Amino acid sequence: MTSISKPFNGTIFHTHHSSSFPHQFRQHLHSHSITLRHKSIKISAHAVPPLPQNHTVVGFGMTTVDFLATVDGYPKPDDKVRTTSSKVQGGGNAGNALTCAARLGLKPKLISKVADDAQGKSILEELEADCVDTSFIVVSKGGSSTFSYVLVDTQTKTRTSIYTPGDPPLVPDDLSQSMLLSAFDGARLVYFDGMSTETALFVGREAARNNIPILVEAESPREGLDELLTLAEFVVCSARFPQAWTQSPSIPSALVSMLLRLPNIKFVIVTLGEDGCLMLERSANEDVGLEERNVESFLELLYKEKDERLAIPTCISSVVTKFRVNGLGTVCGRFFIGTAEKIPDSELIDTTGAGDAFIGAIMYGKCSH
């Protein structure tokens, strides 16, 4: 199997495909131009929109060293298992996502923190080798850089991550206003991985004051994330987050609830692993004459348009509709179902970094829009 050199915790890049895009995520890049009703659109990797001259993005969040161990099966309590392979490489949500962005042709700058230890040096060297601007990463004297242990299960093609936060953590006093203004210079988008929310809010408020669109990744509810989400125009969340955050009975109703609670959001995407993703885009014009539909029954019908025989990514979209969630209200918008490419088991290595690669593709899509 071919592989991009210097992999940064992103086995999603180990593919045979000629396109440089993370293969299961290409469908989003064209989603804003699709207006057909209940129509499945095949996505061509050769129809990728070109980047404008200014394609700088800023990321804030975690960058780590990952110690990956591949095993034939996840161990039970008190088990001793032998690894089939092991490697040490860069990781972390923000580090991975910006590495993907750089490989797609963007110019990413990363705001993060490492220590002046061997792991911190390795993190910086690997990011710089992938053309990620590390000049805004704070390097502490003493302390320890963030690191993770990652178990890769070859049977289930999944990974389990245990991370140890760096010390001392990144705090607002580490970042001067002049440093942030320099980082934001020319930026089309600022991405937050949802970690270190106190400092993320400090950075996010400065980005908002400078009218830079904000993308927030939401993996799980945590203190400070709610306020960060109020600053966001775009949200990408894990499969478990929408219902956990809104206490809604289903993902579709949870997405409507998120748009009701967060009026600044233009779209929210939930990633669904091998099932692709689901996106709800808010409509700028709320036509009072629009048909009002129950969101759950509407999505049931839309999902019936999926063609399970297709191995390539597709996008199924609705027209603008007024979606109703009983007891909460209505939102005008469009749903997009993005299917994932069906990858043969013989080609699939594992899912390490897959969600981060998705974020990188979203950043590319926003910069090219």
Is 279 a domain residue? no
Q: Cα–Cα distance between 193 and 133 in angstroms, integer?
A: 17
- Helix ranges (H only) for the chain are 93-103, 118-129, 177-184, 197-209, 225-230, 241-246, 251-261, 295-303, 354-368
Domain-embedded: residue 116: yes
CA distances (Å), 176 to each of 62, 138, 171, 201, 323, in order? 19, 11, 11, 14, 44
pLDDT band at 49 (very low <50, low <70, confident <90, very high): low
Which of these ranges, 78-82, 258-262, 324-328, has the smallest mean pLDDT?
A: 324-328
Is the residue at 327 inside a domain?
A: no
Give the chain's mean pLDDT.
86
Query: What integer pLDDT is reported at residue 48 of this predicted model?
Result: 62
In this model, does residue 350 exceed pLDDT 90?
no
Is the pLDDT confidence value at 20 over 80?
Answer: no
The pTM of the full predicted model, rounded to 2 decimals, is 0.85
Quick check: is 265 in a domain? Answer: no
Number of domains in the chain: 1
Q: Rounded mean pLDDT of 125-143?
A: 97
Residue 163 resides in a domain: yes
Q: Which domain holds residue 103?
A: 51-73+83-170
Least-confidence region, from 17-21, 194-198, 333-337: 17-21
Within-domain flag for 213: no
Under DSSP, the state recorded for 162 is E
Least Cα distance to 187 among 204, 171, 173 occurs for 204
pLDDT at 250 over 90: yes
Would residue 283 count as lying in a domain?
no
Is the pLDDT reported for residue 288 higher than 70? no
d(CA 9, CA 363): 18
HSE toward the beta carbon, residue 106, CA cutoff 13 A: 33
Q: What is the CATH number of the domain that holds 135?
A: 3.40.1190.20
Question: Does 207 score more than 80 pLDDT?
Answer: yes
Where is mean pLDDT largest: 21-30, 50-59, 87-96, 287-296?
Answer: 87-96
Contact 195, 356 (CB under 8 A): no
Residue 119 lies in a domain: yes
Has residue 16 got a pLDDT over 70?
Answer: no
